[in-house]
Amino acid sequence: MEPKEFSDFAKSMVDYIVEYLENLRERRVLANVQPGYLRPLIPNAAPDDPDSWQDVMADIERVIMPGITHWQSPRFHAYYPMTNSYPSIVADMLSGAIACVGFSWMASPACTELEVVMLDWLGNMIGLPKEFLASSGGKGGAVIQGTASEATLMALQAAKAKKVQEVKEDHPDWTDDMIVTKLVAYTSDQAHSSVERAGLFGGVKMHFIASDAKNSMRGEDLEMAIKNDLEAGLIPFYAVVTLGTTNSCAFDRLDECGPVGNKYHIWIHVDAGYAGCAFICPEYRHFMQGIETADSFNFNPHKWLLVNFDCSTMWLKDPSWLINAFYVNPVYLRHETQGSLPDYRHWQIPLSRRFRALKLWFVLRLYGVKQLQDHIRRYCKFAQEFAEMCRADERFEIVGEVNMALVCFRLKGGNEANEKLLKVINCRGNIHMVAAKIHEIYFLRMAVCSRYTKSEDMIYTWNEVKEVADEMLQK
Ligand code: PLP
């Protein structure tokens, strides 16, 4: 492609993107296609001679859009948000153009150095203790992972390496294999499925602690499980504390679980995948109480902080455990200044990595802290507005507390009616939600997910729910 063509193509795409994002309400939020819909729409093989970019542009509406579920639509309320923004999209363009692979400082110094500084900025914005920050001059440091799942797995591997070394100091005759078969990790029965998977990847046992009436893991329950395991000859080594669970945005009691972890020399990893974004607002930081007891902390700016996927920020008090757990150093990756700044290849699973700090930099600069705080608060206000409408209808009930921008609700009565309610809502396709189940109670989740949301959208969503319920209950 010639430069002039690129320029025309890119400008046309920017116009398309603006048109797409600004008019999302007009599209059916849920894709309305059947599996296999796409193959008949395009040729069986790549073209021998090039298509024109205009042909490609024309195929976006014909081939791609029918199969898109519109995550940025104000009608999208499923899972948790996956926000984007214009500054972040532009940063990704530049990242694609520079196309460096910042696996070591030398491989592209700006890629590493901007990441180090951005994670200090962001760490300060959420009030992380200085022990986690590179700027403190201590051991602490941070990295952008692709996802929270990777952060949980990497923290588990670091904790595993640390515990194996500690145990070997006491039992020099024990082999690594003997120790690993005794290792046991902990998390709550409300933790995200990625925590269970991290245990499976790591080849260690995992005990799920029953959460309390508020769906929180409590310190005394964690301690009881640890004591039982110690008595059984197991070796507790890792606990994942969730701040803002996926099911219901419940908060484990970090202020209780953290000290228990410290008492038994267990690595505490905090998974604040979604809710961590809200900690840029001081009024939500009480959920982080006990953060000084954690060894690692992770949240996803790509969920709720207007940074495009992928950007999962992870801080560690002592990253050396992670770096040394899988240390390899072939000649072709070495450089003269090794050790002065992070070589991020040691902090993650893959070798190669994109320039993800750029989009964080663009977003933090072009919004500023105050506008980002307003953005978080607006979402939470919309959730409260929806909850109010729901409370005012005596056929419905709110399940648990409304935390952050998630409302868990259900029709009073059995699970079956609620399963039907969700099925019909999603079949109509005007709004999209998913359900969750806690202690056999099935409920719907309404997450505010779009930066385009207005109060009118909450009314629209509520009316849609109410209309389906009216029809169902009349029948
Ligand atoms: N942890 C929590 C609390 C989550 O809510 C989620 C996803 O919603 C995850 C982890 C997984 O996130 P990721 O897709 O970044 O791995």
ipTM of the complex: 0.97
Q: Model-level pTM?
A: 0.95
Rounded Cα gap, residues 387 and 67, in angstroms: 31
Q: How far is the CA of 36 from the centre of ligand 1 (A)?
A: 28
Rounded Cα gap, residues 239 and 87, in angstroms: 36
Is 439 one of the annotated active-site residues of the chain? no
Q: How far is the CA of 300 from the centre of ligand 1 (A)?
A: 8
Beta bridge partners of 431: none
1 CB contacts (<8 Å, ≥6 apart)? 9, 53
* pLDDT (tens place) for every residue of the chain, 475 residues total: 999 999 999 999 999 999 999 999 999 999 999 999 999 999 999 999 999 999 999 999 999 999 999 999 999 999 999 999 999 999 999 999 999 988 889 889 999 999 999 999 999 999 999 999 999 999 999 999 999 999 999 999 999 999 999 999 999 999 999 999 999 999 999 999 999 999 999 999 999 999 999 999 999 999 999 999 999 999 999 999 999 999 999 999 999 999 999 999 999 999 999 999 999 999 999 999 999 999 999 999 999 999 999 999 999 999 999 998 888 888 888 888 887 888 898 899 889 999 999 999 999 999 999 999 999 999 999 999 999 999 999 999 999 999 999 999 999 989 999 999 999 999 999 999 999 999 999 999 999 999 999 999 999 999 999 999 999 888 7
Q: How far is the CA of 150 from the centre of ligand 1 (A)?
A: 10
CA angle 91, 361, 306 (to 5 degrees): 70
Residue with tokens 């296609």: 33
Binding site membership of 194 for ligand 1 (Cβ less than 6 Å):
yes
Distances (CA, A) of 196 to 200, 240, 264, 265: 6, 10, 21, 21
Rounded Cα gap, residues 466 and 432, in angstroms: 14
Binding site membership of 145 for ligand 1 (Cβ less than 6 Å):
no
Binding site membership of 149 for ligand 1 (Cβ less than 6 Å):
yes
Does the CA dihedral 47-49-53-58 come out positive or negative? negative
Task: Find the catalytic residue in 70, 77, 192, 207.
Answer: 192
The two structure tokens encoding residue 96: 């694609």
Rounded Cα gap, residues 23 and 66, in angstroms: 15
| CA-wise closest residue to 74 among 431, 445, 336, 421 | 431
Residue nearest to atom 12 of ligand 1 (CA): 148
Q: How far is the CA of 74 from the centre of ligand 1 (A)?
A: 21
Rounded Cα gap, residues 167 and 160, in angstroms: 11
Ligand 1 atom nearest the C-alpha of 312 is: 15
Rounded Cα gap, residues 266 and 162, in angstroms: 10
238 CB contacts (<8 Å, ≥6 apart)? 155, 156, 159, 160, 163, 183, 185, 186, 204, 266, 267, 269
Residue nearest to atom 14 of ligand 1 (CA): 147
